[in-house]
Amino acid sequence: MLVVMETRATDEQIRAVCERMASRGLATHVVPGSLRTAIAVTGNSGAVDIGSLESMPGVQECIAVSKPYKLAGRDAYPESTVIHVPTALGEVTVGGGAVAIIAGPCAIESREQAFAIAEKVKAAGARLIRGGAYKPRTSPYSFQGMGEPGVEILREVREQFGLGIVTEAVDVESLDLVAGVADVIQIGARSMQNFSLLKRAGRTGKPILLKRGMSATLDEFLMAAEYIMAEGNHAVILCERGVRTFNDHTRNTLDLSAIPAIHRRSHLPIIVDPSHGTGRRRNVLPLARAAVAAGADGLLVEVHHAPEAALSDGRQAILPTEFAQLMAEARQIAAVIGHTLS
Amino acid sequence: MLVVMETRATDEQIRAVCERMASRGLATHVVPGSLRTAIAVTGNSGAVDIGSLESMPGVQECIAVSKPYKLAGRDAYPESTVIHVPTALGEVTVGGGAVAIIAGPCAIESREQAFAIAEKVKAAGARLIRGGAYKPRTSPYSFQGMGEPGVEILREVREQFGLGIVTEAVDVESLDLVAGVADVIQIGARSMQNFSLLKRAGRTGKPILLKRGMSATLDEFLMAAEYIMAEGNHAVILCERGVRTFNDHTRNTLDLSAIPAIHRRSHLPIIVDPSHGTGRRRNVLPLARAAVAAGADGLLVEVHHAPEAALSDGRQAILPTEFAQLMAEARQIAAVIGHTLS
Amino acid sequence: MLVVMETRATDEQIRAVCERMASRGLATHVVPGSLRTAIAVTGNSGAVDIGSLESMPGVQECIAVSKPYKLAGRDAYPESTVIHVPTALGEVTVGGGAVAIIAGPCAIESREQAFAIAEKVKAAGARLIRGGAYKPRTSPYSFQGMGEPGVEILREVREQFGLGIVTEAVDVESLDLVAGVADVIQIGARSMQNFSLLKRAGRTGKPILLKRGMSATLDEFLMAAEYIMAEGNHAVILCERGVRTFNDHTRNTLDLSAIPAIHRRSHLPIIVDPSHGTGRRRNVLPLARAAVAAGADGLLVEVHHAPEAALSDGRQAILPTEFAQLMAEARQIAAVIGHTLS
Amino acid sequence: MLVVMETRATDEQIRAVCERMASRGLATHVVPGSLRTAIAVTGNSGAVDIGSLESMPGVQECIAVSKPYKLAGRDAYPESTVIHVPTALGEVTVGGGAVAIIAGPCAIESREQAFAIAEKVKAAGARLIRGGAYKPRTSPYSFQGMGEPGVEILREVREQFGLGIVTEAVDVESLDLVAGVADVIQIGARSMQNFSLLKRAGRTGKPILLKRGMSATLDEFLMAAEYIMAEGNHAVILCERGVRTFNDHTRNTLDLSAIPAIHRRSHLPIIVDPSHGTGRRRNVLPLARAAVAAGADGLLVEVHHAPEAALSDGRQAILPTEFAQLMAEARQIAAVIGHTLS
């Protein structure tokens, strides 16, 4: 950490900072500048709480240098993490050059709907299906998911089609139920900082698909992963799904630069959700292709056989034929950078 | 709702939209324009799910006109809600010209710390004290609050000083414990869309202090209040605490325009947290005064007798003497617009 | 336009709005809703100034339906515009499936530097070179470009290598000088709403490369193009270069969803600048590939043979070898969606 | 500046950075940390261009410590700048506890309009009137200001009422004309980085009212002021007018925390424009009061006697009676913090 002193900071104030740091077992290096003095602090494992330091007289600001995450960072774990999800159709790999495709409806609406879509996405080559039994909705008056019967339908989809199940846990209460059927448990953007849920999800031992919060920085995103990993579960799949900006032409602004940026900071794989990331069906294919071209470790795509009748988010679901086209294009683009669809 | 058709939409496509709406019991009014046709849809109570409509051929976009909230909106409840919080020091009023002051530490750290601060804020005239026993922290390695012993200390503060208690519930597990001591239950910004928690908090029957999410629009904010109110609990105090923007000179950007904007849309009172809203001690007083001048129904302020030793957020806590000054200034500014400190 | 009345608006207030619209030659259609009345206004060519309407009693808000641009919009010009830039190496096409590659240094620093880079980018297959003689810089103490001698060097590059020149005009004073050598005149992000400059650039008759402002909506972006087109110059190439958001891991957040969104609203081609869009060399290739995959009509890339010695923006310039790799990858990805490098 | 090396940076790479710095006459201090080494660089006057440094092998990132502005910063000029604007009604003071009130229409529309409003704002106690003869408008089809005849009307207003004139210069072409009548020259938000205009405005020697750009950081804002000051003109009045965020309930998000933040970094006065800052008439008074409470050195307010007939921005202009109320409230609130209206 770097403590920047005010221009008119006294020697006594500088000394006081050094003593405070020493009392915590940290080393200090005083660096006199032309205008002001800075104090480099070393020896801290992880980030120092800078709040109290900035309250000391003569201190202008504190600049963190070390990143606050340990398990999620590449510093300690330079090798990229590759996650293997076993399914009846074979193991699906996420990361390390393998681009995992997860497709399906936003919400499970009925057995008929789930089966119809499962058949289509399987036919197009997907081995992981997404679909929510529990849906976090902005309005209490919107469809909140089928709940337990939806979980049962997912179980049938799993048995009938052999597809691996990716489904969301929205609270601790329903987590066990969801964990019973899921091959990958999804934690949604609104829950990214629901720390109780993160810890409990970590303890299930299942791979966790963690979506980036609507206005989360990458550091906050990785710290949320850290909560899961601190429970001993290192199988975390990060998911970029668009962030909130001033833009009014899309629901969210898909931040594809997060892909190389995460790959640089962390060993965890990162996939992209172009459906929530754009909020419009017509933008899904272009942005899905872009994600693969940028090096994403996977895609999470909403597919619906009758989007105009969907109970939630029909606006952003693509048709099965569009999904088949996406698979073909994604496969070719992945090949350009030496990746393969998984 | 207004359905805007594409320039080259056919009569058949327009008819299809009208029929779909009619099948849901809604009336349509076709408005032909110079370039394109629009279809006004009426008869809907609340918002129509527009996703599926936008998937219909010939539809360019759908524009929502009605607001999705019912209980939180001023349309159905034109009278401003005034909330009364009974304390041993007398009833504290929030709203209707009464500006409630809530002050105290970010987190309860010890009996000594809590008592020291309670004494100071009471002496300065506050009758509600804030302080967290459970703290949602970005890092799993940061101090997470004292938990149950912290709740016990809050109970002692209540008995000893007569102050009303405002404290945060971070998950359903600890909610009952918190509800046992709290006069007002706080739901933090990170939990604004933790819908399970909102519902359960609503059912406690206690007044709920609901903080605005880091990137929540006012509609989303009021929809979160709607979740609480739909449980029969109409005592919701909204709290602006800064939103996330590109600004790098503060932790968050305090959005004081939310005060008149909320007052126009909703009957609920809105208070302001200038501590989280700015993240820096030296900005707290100016922005607290500004909030009162803009018509806020209250302030939520972090006060610490030794901020440089605080276990969390010491960076933004003001000293007891600064708090006393704030009380004096807030009182005078409130008077300018006919408000009074409560 | 839709005028939404307040819940308690009187018949008289509704009538007043209709009369005001009628006095401007506009037709009105009153649409009574369950909670409030809306008034659809038609007959306006372009957007009505809604400020004064919202000041009328009983009016809650006005919602614009028509887009304010005429020449830049697809409504009036459904065919995609294809721009042809003649060079000594053959005509470069932008749009209509042709992906134009523009590469070169941020700033012209010397004859040696310009020639060295020109040779490299030409060898890799580019036929348009970028390079600024005038640089808008945040600090008055930063290198502001070589000015007129830089223009001379660009002229030599043009003659020596046959490359077409893309260079920026920063003010009306230097515009003529720049126009004398440029095959495409660039208007930078900071100048997107420098309306005097836009008009004068439009009058040169040269193709204009217009960069999106740092926080411009797509409507504002297209309105800036409209200023150029209103001067009779329809050869406008739009350029997405990243927008400002809360993200702190990149200089700007590249908004690739702007590509399909612009293609839907406008007939103009849109290219992408992954160098400014990310601000980091290591992110340029992934995002450049992503832009092509998303359907961009071109790329604007900073290439420098010695980025660690560059006088400006060396942080984001790629090496000639990286540029050659980019050309190969872009060519293959373009082919996947039926596009070809130009 | 602090150069942070990668975890696995070699001694040779560290040495190379030190040598590069030494070759530029800068001193380096190597600070070994537990995970990585940092190199503190001192001796630089102002900011080092970090682009090229980050391109060196082994360098992870560079963190600027010194601020890039010299003339605008408080480091070199600790005393607050107070600006005096002479008018026929007496000198108006900006800064140092004096809160200057500038009021008038968005645009000069006619002699009658200008005189009517001038009479009202003067009667309410203002001594500076605002009003644009040249208007930067998003659309080429919107009213662009009266131009030269508007300047003549401003001259008459000045003679007739004795009011000082604050009016905008939009380009170098019209600058001299504007400077001939203005007591304070306004540079609008869209021109904040029109560096040619800033330099030329600086050379007029008149006080400059510089508005913050729509997405400008405070550092960029102060660097724009630096362009003016580098021409020898230190009479710069900064103006916060709202920034662009995801918020959809106001035109811009007024960032009142900029007031204490600017006061800390710079000696220049900062005023607030609550009209553009909120974009809605009903929010102007609350936010104007808030600005004064937060310590603003002045207000820039749009007043129109018939806003529903205004040719631009009628949506946000307040009525003369509202302005009189604002003056009374602002006077009382200023007094609370020891300020006085000027």
Q: State whether residue C334 sits within 8 Å of chain A by CB.
A: no
CA D176/CA D170 separation, integer angstroms? 11
CATH number, domain of D149, equals 3.20.20.70
Q: Which chains share 3+ C-beta pairs under 8 angstroms with C?
A: A, B, D
**CB contact residues (below 8 A), chain C span 176-195, against chain D:** 190-191, 193-195
pLDDT per residue as tens digits for the range D193-230: 999 999 999 999 999 999 999 999 999 999 999 999 99
Mean pLDDT of D239-246: 97
In chain A, residues 63-122 whose CB comes closer than 8 Å to chain D: 63, 65-66, 75, 78
Q: How many CA atoms lie within 13 A of B266 on its CB side?
A: 30
Query: Residue C100 contacts by C-beta under 8 Å, 6 or more apart in sequence?
Result: C85, C92, C93, C94, C128, C271, C297, C298, C299, C342
B277 or D44, higher pLDDT: B277
Taking the Cβ of residue A338 and every Cβ of chain C, the question of whether any pair is shorter than 8 Å is answered with: no
**What angle in degrees, to the nearest 10, is found between the helix axes of D195-203 and D172-181?**
30
Mean pLDDT for the stretch of residues C62-83: 87
For residue B188, give how far its alpha carbon lies from the nearest alpha carbon of chain D (Å): 20
Residue with tokens 């899961």: A228
* Predicted local distance difference test score (pLDDT) of residue B45: 55
Q: Is residue D70 part of a domain?
A: no
Which has the closest alpha carbon to C116: C159, C147, C168, C157? Answer: C157
- What's the rounded mean pLDDT across residues B332-340? 98
Q: Residue C141: its chain D contacts at CB < 8 A?
A: 46, 68, 70
> Which chains sit next to D, with 3 or more Cβ pairs under 8 A?
A, B, C
pLDDT of residue D294: 98
In C, minimum Cα distance to A217 occurs at C247
Give the β-pairing of B98-104 and B298-302: parallel
3-state secondary structure chain C: CEEEECCCCCHHHHHHHHHHHHHCCCEEEEEECCCCEEEEEECCCCCCCCHHHHCCCCEEEEECCCCCCCCCECCCCCCCCCEEECCCCCCEEEECCEEEEEEECCECCCHHHHHHHHHHHHHCCCCEEECECCCCCCCCCCCCCCCHHHHHHHHHHHHHHCCEEEEECCCHHHHHHHHHHCCEEEECHHHCCCHHHHHHHHHCCCCEEEECCCCCCHHHHHHHHHHHHCCCCCCEEEEECCECCCCCCCCCECCCCHHHHHHHHECCCEEECHHHHHCCHHHHHHHHHHHHHCCCCEEEEEECCCHHHCCCCHHHCECHHHHHHHHHHHHHHHHHCCCEEC
Q: Are residues A203 and A291 in the same domain?
A: yes
**Tens digits of residue pLDDT in A106-158:** 999 999 999 999 999 999 999 999 999 999 988 888 889 999 999 999 999 99
pLDDT-derived band at D51 (thresholds 50, 70, 90) equals: low
pLDDT tens digits for range C137-149: 888 888 899 999 9
Average pLDDT of span C288-311: 92
Pairwise CB contact (< 8 Å): A264 & C257: no
List pLDDT tens digits, range C157-195.
Answer: 999 999 999 999 999 989 999 999 999 999 999 999 999
At residue C51, the pLDDT reads: 63
| Amino acid letter, residue C6 | E
Interface of D with A in 311-330 (CB under 8 A): none
Residues 6 or more apart whose Cβ sits within 8 Å of residue B18: B28, B30, B39
In tens, the pLDDT along D168-177 reads 999 998 999 9
Q: Tell me the average pLDDT across A166-194.
A: 96
Beta carbons of D196 and C173 less than 8 Å apart: yes
Measured between beta carbons, the chain A residues lying within 8 angstroms of C293 are: 286, 289-290, 292-293, 333
If asked whether residues C22 and C134 sit together in one domain, one would say no
Mean of per-residue pLDDT scores for chain D: 92
C268: exposed, middle or buried (Cβ count in 10 Å: 0-12, 13-18, 19+): buried
C90 or C251, which is more confident: C90
Chain C residues whose beta carbon lies within 8 Å of the beta carbon of residue B43: 33-34
Question: Nearest C-alpha of chain B: how many angstroms from D203?
Answer: 30
Contact A336 C337 (CB under 8 A): no
Of D297, D241, D238, D255, nearest to D73 by C-alpha is: D238
| Nearest beta carbon to residue A65 from set D29, D32, D38 | D38
Which of A63, A95, A116 is a domain's end point? A63
For residues A310 and A166, membership in a common domain is answered with yes
Least CB-CB distance to C336: which of A255, A291, A329?
A329
Q: What is the CATH number of the domain that holds C54?
A: 3.30.70.1140
Tell me which chain A residue has its CA closest to the CA of residue D27.
A33
Q: Could you report the per-residue pLDDT of D100-150, keeping only the tens digit for each?
A: 999 999 999 999 999 999 999 999 999 999 999 999 988 888 889 999 999
Asked whether the predicted pLDDT for residue A45 surpasses 60, the reply is: no
Q: Give contacts of D241 with chain C, Cβ < 8 Å.
A: none
- Looking at every residue in chain B, the average pLDDT score rounds to 92
- For residue A313, the distance in angstroms to the closest alpha carbon of chain C comes to 18
Instruction: Note whether A58 and A88 are same-domain residues.
Output: no
3-state DSSP assignment of residue B108: coil
Residue numbers in A near D42 (CB within 8 A): 31-34
- Best probe of the D interface among C63, C194, C318, by most D CBs < 10 A, is C194
Tell whether A220 lies on the interface with C, counting CB pairs under 8 A: no
> Which residues of D are less than 8 Å from B259 in CB distance?
286
Q: Does the residue B114 lie in any domain?
A: yes
Contact D290 B290 (CB under 8 A): yes
- Chain B nearest-CA distance from D18, in A, is 30
pLDDT of residue D29: 87
At residue B50, the pLDDT reads 66
Contact state of A172 with B170 under an 8 Å Cβ cutoff: no
Total structural domains in chain D? 2
Domain end, chosen from B17, B35, B63, is at: B63
Last-in-domain residue among D30, D63, D96: D63
Of A56, A137, A315, the CB nearest to B55: A315
Averaged pLDDT for residues B239-258: 95
* Confidence label for D236 from pLDDT (cuts 50, 70 and 90): very high
Could you report the per-residue pLDDT of A226-281, keeping only the tens digit for each?
A: 999 999 999 999 999 999 999 999 889 999 999 999 999 999 999 999 999 888 88
Q: Which of A109, A141, A178 to mutate to test the interface with B (most CBs of B within 10 A)?
A: A141
Whether the per-residue pLDDT at D333 is higher than 90: the answer is: yes
- The number of beta carbons lying within 10 Å of the beta carbon of residue C337 is 18
Q: In the structure, what pLDDT confidence band is assigned to residue B92 with cuts at 50, 70 and 90?
A: very high
- Residue D74 inside a domain? The answer is no
In the structure, what pLDDT confidence band is assigned to residue B306 with cuts at 50, 70 and 90?
Answer: confident
Nearest to A209 by CA among A217, A218, A198: A198
C218-233 mean pLDDT: 96
Q: Are residues B59 and B205 in the same domain?
A: no
> CB of B296 within 8 Å of any CB in chain D?
no
Best D50, D109, D194, D243 member to test C by mutation, with max C CBs in 10 Å, is: D194
Give D311→chain C minimum CA distance, Å.
Answer: 8
* CB of C275 less than 8 A from some CB of D: no
- Clarify whether residues A172 and A263 are in a common domain: yes
Shared domain for C26 and C101, answered yes or no, is no
Distance (Å) from the alpha carbon of C251 to chain A's nearest alpha carbon: 10
Confirm whether A76 is domain-assigned: no
Let me know if residue A78 belongs to a domain: no
Please tell me which of the candidates B139, B193, B307 has its beta carbon nearest to residue A55: B307
Residue D309, pLDDT score = 76
What pLDDT, on a 0 to 100 scale, did the predictor assign at position A21? 87
Clarify whether residues A168 and A23 are in a common domain.
Answer: no
Task: Compute CA C261 distance to the chain's CA centroid, rounded to the nearest angstrom.
Answer: 13
The minimum CA-CA distance between C4 and chain B, rounded to whole Å, is: 8
Closest CA–CA distance from residue D68 to any residue of chain C (Å): 7
- Are D46 and D143 in the same domain? no
User: Do residue B310 and residue A51 have CB atoms under 8 angstroms apart?
Assistant: yes
Chain B touched by C40 (CB under 8 Å): yes
CB distance A257–C278 less than 8 Å? yes
Taking the Cβ of residue D141 and every Cβ of chain C, the question of whether any pair is shorter than 8 Å is answered with yes
Residue B108 has pLDDT above 80, yes or no: yes
Is A39 in the same domain as A91? no
Q: Which chain D positions have a beta carbon within 8 Å of B283's beta carbon?
A: 257, 260-261
Structure tokens at D335: 């007094």
Which residue do the tokens 């089809």 mark? D141
Q: Check D138 against C49: CB less than 8 A apart.
A: no
pLDDT at res. A65: 74
Q: Strands A2-5 and A59-63, how do they pair?
A: antiparallel
Q: What pLDDT, on the 0 to 100 scale, is given for residue B212?
A: 98
Query: Given the structure tokens 């009996």, which residue do they identify?
Result: B111
Assess whether B262 and B205 both reside in one domain: yes
> Among the listed ranges A10-24, A45-59, C82-96, C212-226, which one has the minimum average pLDDT value?
A45-59
Give domain status of residue D75, yes or no.
no
Residue spans of beta strands (DSSP E) within chain B: 2-5, 27-32, 37-42, 59-63, 83-85, 92-94, 98-104, 128-130, 164-168, 184-187, 208-211, 236-240, 270-272, 298-302, 340-341
User: How high is the pLDDT of residue C309?
Assistant: 76
Per-residue pLDDT tens over the stretch A156-179: 999 999 999 999 999 998 999 999
pLDDT at A201: 97
Query: Å from D338 to nearest chain C CA?
Result: 36
Reported as a single tens digit per residue, the pLDDT across A56-88 is 888 888 877 777 788 999 988 899 999 999 999
Give the global pTM. 0.94
CB A290 within 8 A of CB A256: yes
| C330 or D313, greater pLDDT | C330
| Model ipTM value | 0.92
Confidence class for position B147, pLDDT limits 50, 70, 90: very high
Q: Tell me, what's the pLDDT at D48?
A: 57
Top-confidence range, A43-47, A187-191, C133-137, C303-307: A187-191
Ranges of H-type helices in chain A = 11-23, 51-54, 111-123, 148-161, 172-181, 195-203, 218-229, 258-265, 274-278, 281-293, 320-336
| Residues of the domain holding A40 | 2-63
pLDDT at B44: 66
In a domain, C107, yes or no: yes
- Contact between chains at D215 and C215 (C-beta distance less than 8 A): yes
Residue-wise burial string across D76-104, b where 16 or more C-beta atoms lie within 10 A, e elsewhere: eeeeebebebebeeeebbbbeebbbbbbb
B70-79 average pLDDT score: 90
Q: A230 to chain B: which residues are within 8 Å by CB? A: 140
Pair of tokens at residue B178: 């918190």
Nearest to B283 among D257, D289, D291 (CB): D257
Residues of chain D contacting B329 with CB distance shorter than 8 Å: 336-337
Q: Which residues of B fall within a CB distance of 8 Å from C3? A: none
The predicted pLDDT at position C33 comes to: 76
Does the pLDDT of residue D26 top 80, yes or no? yes
Residue A319 CB contacts under 8 Å (≥ 6 apart), including other chains: A303, A304, A305, A307
Same domain, A6 and A128: no
What pLDDT sits at residue D302?
Answer: 96
What is the mean pLDDT of the segment spanning C292-304? 97
CB contact under 8 Å between D253 and B261, yes or no, is no
How confident is the model at residue D49, as a pLDDT? 60
Residue A52: inside a domain:
yes
Instruction: Report pLDDT for B49.
Output: 60
3-state secondary structure of A40: strand
Interface probe for C, chosen from A67, A69, A219, A257 (most Cβ of C below 10 Å), is A257
Predicted local confidence at residue C311, as pLDDT: 75
